[in-house]
Amino acid sequence: MSLPGWWTIDPTEPFTLGPRQFPGRIWTASGCFAYGLTGHEMKAEGFSSPYQGVGAVVTKTVTPQARPGNPMPRLVETNEGALNSIGLENVGFEEFLAKTLPALEEMGVPTVVSLAATRPEEFGDMVSRLHQAAVGFVHWHGVEINLSCPNVAEGGHDFGRDPDTVAACVRAAREYLPDRALLAKLTPNVTDISGLATAAAAAGVDAVSAINTVVGLEVDLKSGRPVLPRRFGGYSGPAIRPIALAKVDEIITRAKVPVVGVGGIGNDRDALKFFALGAVAVQVGTAQMRDPFTAARIAKDLAGV
């Protein structure tokens, strides 16, 4: 498409967020591009790899202990998106520090590390150890604390629905992260997301990522039961884009904190809608799982190449 006249940014050029300069504004979302270690050898017409032009890879969320994830099935596609109940399957913090993060640095992947925990002090401990282990790393740009994962908690409820909890987690992480960007990924499953963003900003976050998945449920008519063993899951994809846009607009107009927009972005037109509202960057999620070159293509299209 031809780019609108108001769009004057090259999203593949560096920009500053908090204390850090990122190489670009088109990112991949946590859980949708693994850890950023795979697929580098893949090629497509006009692209040397799926990472071309991508400003950051937000890693698969890492927890203090390794997690096997939820029972199968974990992912169900719908006409307009996907419902997942992965359960934060991951290698665990120890292995991530010892093997994954050094490999990302060696491969030159611009990295934002996604972390999840159940108590604020756990965030502080992980960020402290992460910062010590990555001293001198040039490709690690920041941390995104995952405060909103409905596919783990009982009944689909989110960990970070309380502004005081959000603030406590941000403060705990910020103390040990003086020179990298700190983002908080917020849940949309609240009536006032701007209150969460305001609390995160007051506690020292550099930006918020909005939104995470929406709580959803799908039914198998053959059995008459929910398709996911844990009943609820996180719904993502094109169907949630209008919700994400509304939440991003609410945060920007009320909380006055930088926003990285997430939710239903599959092409340059989708991304432009978030930028039009004032988002400083965007993350590509579900679409990236269907086509690993989606983020690279959006970056190229919005750069006018």
CA angle 95, 100, 102 (to 5 degrees): 115
Q: What is the CA radius of gyration of the chain?
A: 18
For the beta carbon of residue 179, count every other beta carbon within 10 angstroms: 10
Contact yes or no for 148/166 (Cβ under 8 A) = no
Residue 106's SS3 state is helix
Q: Is the peptide bond before 193 cis (omega within 30 degrees of 0)?
A: no
**149 noted as active-site residue:** yes
Identify how many contiguous H helices and E strands the chain contains and give both numbers: 9, 16
- Distance of CA 24 to CAs 13, 113, 173, 185, 282, Å? 5, 16, 24, 19, 10
Q: Which phi and psi angles does 191 have, rounded to 5°?
A: -85, -20
Give residue 11's identity as a one-letter amino acid code.
P
Candidate list 149, 167, 210, 287, residue with the active-site label: 149
**Distance (Å, rounded) from C-alpha 77 to C-alpha 75?**
7
* Catalytic site positions: 149
